[in-house]
Amino acid sequence: MVRLYLKYFAINIKSQMQYKTAFFLHLFGRIMLSFATVAGVWFMFLRFNRVEGFTLNQVLLCTAVTMMSYSITEVFARGFDIFPRLLGNGEFDRYLVRPRGVIYQVIATHMEFGRLGVFIQAVIVFCYAIPNSGIVWSPDKILTLFLMIICGAAVFSGLYIIFASFSFFTVEGLEFMNILTHGGKEFGRYPYAIYGEGILKFLTFIIPLALFQYYPLLYLIERESSPLYILTPLLSMFFLVPCYVFWKIGLRHYKSTGS
Amino acid sequence: MIRLSNINKTFRVAKRKSGFGNAVKALFSREYEKIRALQDVSFTINDGEMVGYIGPNGAGKSTTIKIMCGILTPDSGECDINGSNPWKQRLRHVRDIGVVFGQRSQLWWDVPVIDSFDLIRDIYKIDENLYRRNLDEMIALLDLSEILKTPTRSLSLGQRMRCEIAASLLHSPKILFLDEPTIGLDAVSKIAVRGFIKKINAEHKTTVILTTHDMQDIEALTERILLIGKGRILLDGSLTELLKRSSANKILVVDYNGNVPSLNEHMSLVEQKDGQISVTFDPVELSVSNAIAHISAQVEVLDVSVSGISAEQMVAALYEEYRI
């Protein structure tokens, strides 16, 4: 399965390298766009030197985690993002007549490396924020940061899967999902707690974006010392269970209506 | 073996009325219309058979194919394909089938065809020796050696269709579903594709189920046809039998010099052009030689052709007969 994934990976790269100019323009465009996001945070701190008690470098760490998680999702779970198209052109029917898992094929068939622009921007921000944040990078802290990024990508992928599951039923009005995906990414520039208690609760218990971002950040900057905070990102993985259930319901609907 | 018994399928389609007011109303409540796509569809197809599945647009052909491929679940009915149920045992079932959707591609658009083939090898976990053997066979029979290194996007439709069919057969499926495989192809490609399908069926005993609107496909390939209309199987039988039944009448076309010849009481006029006349008659009442003699007695005959009705005309007549 891993070997096959690497095959898919190679064929995706080969496909996209057919249009090198378009690829690099796309990449460059994404870097510039995400630069605007980072600059926004920067300008905010020119006026206020703390936001809810977080310093600029702490917030930048948060920005980079969210950006990196989101860009991993954009690159590797792209198939769910364009899912209505796969249903429309019959590509999804092709997956159903092949002896491989359907989710696996959606993920493997569509990778979009142009979206690595945001990833590169996130790396740049990390390069600045990691040494300047004043955090002593012991192994537990490094593990925490790693879990934040990986689990973040999982939560965003879950949101993409929910979007795809809805598109089994309708293609109208799906834009509301953007509030959670793009909205989640944009608001995720800052620790989710600054938007108030209600929103933090929502982002903890319903759509667990705060579990990979805000709570482990508290551990990183030593506002919380309990090692349980290292594991909060892992809790967010439970979100994938309802996502999978949604997907199954959508798939069953599709197989009974074919549209 | 493929066995379908009493397959039913109903779709719910939202009714849409024109006008802004109705569009707003539709936001809150929708009226649905039930469309019975398949009603009690039953048939059996034996291993190695080649079957033409015909019917007008919207008759239920694609729905049946989708059910047999495991893409759609029927409302009721049984389906057994080589011991598997297509929608309950998807993974096991799809290993044994190959599917070509004439209007959709399964090849990667921007990379050479051979890369798509290699990926398919890994998707199906095809044994390397078998893969090489199948690939070599396809290259020889479908004349692919020149085009394997070309990206799909640069292929002509005919070349692409040859590659699509090859891609569906790399894993040696026992059953091949072809949904309009010759649509939009030029004459040369059509003949090549037909010849290949025939060969695969003869040599590998691959069961072939073919939907098409091109009756020449049916004439060239299949002995058995299944006619579906409005979701019901209307006819299941041999093409030759049907042609015999409905082609009792002969058509005689004569090119001549001279005045317009008169017809006798057994002949009726089909078409009269400048220097050419087409008549039809029942050979039981009037033999072919007598018909020709009757005309050649009046005019100087330049050329003669006699034919029964074509499969095309026969199917049109069937559609008419069943009002579909």
- Assign 3-class secondary structure to B250-302: EEEEEEEECCCCCCCCCCEEEEEECCEEEEEECCCCCCHHHHHHHHHCCCEEE
Q: How far apart are CA B102 and CA B108, in angstroms?
A: 16
Contacts of B72 in chain A (CB under 8 A): 255-256, 258
Residues B119, A11: C-beta atoms closer than 8 Å: yes
Q: What is the pLDDT of residue B22?
A: 72
pLDDT, tens only, B102-145: 888 999 999 999 999 999 999 999 999 999 999 999 999 999 99
DSSP A14-68: HHHGGGHHHHHHHHHHHHHHHHHHHHHHHHHHHH-S-BTTB-HHHHHHHHHHHHH
Judged by DSSP in three states, B225 sits in strand
For chain A, what percent of residues have pLDDT higher than 90?
Answer: 89
Q: Collapsing DSSP states into helix, strand and coil, what is residue B216?
A: helix
User: Given B73, B101, B118, which is nearest A255 (Cβ)?
Assistant: B73
pLDDT interval class at B169 (50, 70, 90): very high
Our CA-based measurement puts residue A27 at a distance from the nearest CA of chain B, in whole angstroms, of 19
pLDDT of residue B138: 93
Chain A residues closer than 8 Å to B122 by CB? 3-4, 7
Q: Which one-letter amino acid corresponds to residue B232?
A: R
| Distance between CA atoms of residues A93 and B72, nearest Å | 9
Min Cα–Cα distance to chain B from A159, Å: 25
* Mean pLDDT confidence for A217-229: 94
Could you tell me which chain A residue has the CA closest to the CA of B104?
A90
What pLDDT, on the 0 to 100 scale, is given for residue B133? 96
Which chain A residue's Cα is nearest to B152? A15
Confidence of residue B45 (pLDDT cuts 50, 70, 90): very high
Which of the four pLDDT bands, split at 50, 70 and 90, describes residue B10?
A: very high
Average of pLDDT values for B29-40? 84
pTM value? Answer: 0.88
User: Is there a contact between B115 and A11 if contact means CB atoms under 8 Å apart?
Assistant: yes
Q: In DSSP terms, which residues pair with A194 in a beta bridge?
A: none
Q: Is residue A258 over pLDDT 80?
A: no
**What digits encode the pLDDT tens for the residues A156-208?**
999 999 999 999 998 787 888 889 999 999 999 999 999 999 999 999 999 99
CB A93 to CB B122 under 8 A? no
Chain A residues interacting with chain B (CB cutoff of 8 angstroms): 3-4, 7-8, 11, 14-16, 18-19, 89-91, 93-94, 96-100, 252, 255-259
Per-residue model confidence (pLDDT) at position B247: 58
Q: How far is B14 from chain A (nearest CA, A)?
A: 12
Q: Running DSSP on this structure, what letter comes out for residue A137?
A: -
Residue B23 in this model has a pLDDT that exceeds 70: no
- Buried b or exposed e, range B204-235, using 16+ CB within 10 angstroms: bebbbbbbbbbbbbbbbbbebbbbbbbbbbbe
* Cβ within 8 Å, pair B71-A93: yes
Summarised one tens digit per residue, pLDDT across range A68-98 is: 999 999 999 999 999 999 999 999 999 999 9
Q: Which two tokens stand for residue A87?
A: 């249903």
pLDDT at B91: 93
Across the interface, whether the CB atoms of A90 and B72 are under 8 A apart is answered no
| pLDDT at B17 exceeding the cut of 80 | no
Chosen for mutation from B12, B111, B131 (greatest number of chain A CBs closer than 10 Å) is B111
* Spatial contact of A161 and A244, defined as CB atoms under 8 Å apart: yes
Structure confidence at residue B270 as a pLDDT band (50, 70, 90) = confident
Tell me, what's the pLDDT at B77? 95
Structure tokens at B309: 């009705």
Mean pLDDT of chain B: 89
Chain-wide mean pLDDT for chain A?
94
Query: How do residues B276-323 score in pLDDT, each as one tens digit?
Result: 998 888 877 888 888 888 988 888 888 988 887 777 777 887 888 887
Report the complex ipTM.
0.91
CA–CA gap between residue B52 and residue B222 (Å, rounded): 6
What percent of chain A is helix, strand and coil (3-state, nearest 5)? 80, 0, 20
| Interchain CB distance below 8 Å, B94 and A94 | no
The two three-digit tokens of residue B321, written as one number: 């007969």
Under an 8 A CB cutoff, do A14 and B111 touch? Answer: yes
| β-bridge partners, B252 | B279, B306
> Using the beta-carbon criterion (under 8 Å), do B73 and A91 form an inter-chain contact?
no
SS3 B211: strand
pLDDT at residue B248 greater than cutoff 80: no
Q: Average pLDDT of B254-272? A: 87
How confident is the model at residue B26, as a pLDDT?
A: 66
What distance in Å separates the CA atoms of residue B65 and residue B37, rounded to the nearest whole number?
A: 12
Q: What is the pLDDT of residue B242?
A: 77
A98, B124: Cβ pair inside 8 Å?
yes
Which of B11, B95, B108 lies nearest to residue A15, judging by beta carbons? B108
Helix, strand, or coil (residue B191): helix
Q: Which residue has the tokens 């389906």?
A: B79
Does B30 score more than 80 pLDDT? no
Q: Is residue B265 within 8 Å of residue B294, measured between CB atoms?
A: no
Q: Which residues from chain A sit within 8 angstroms of residue B151, using beta carbons?
A: 18
Q: What is the model's pLDDT at position A92?
A: 96
Nearest to B69 among A18, A19, A97 (CB): A97
Residue B95 has pLDDT above 90, yes or no: yes
Q: Provide the percentage of residues in chain A whose pLDDT is more than 70.
A: 99
CA-CA distance, A220 to A139, in Å (whole number)?
11
Tens digit of pLDDT for each residue in A2-34?
Answer: 999 999 999 999 999 999 999 999 999 999 999
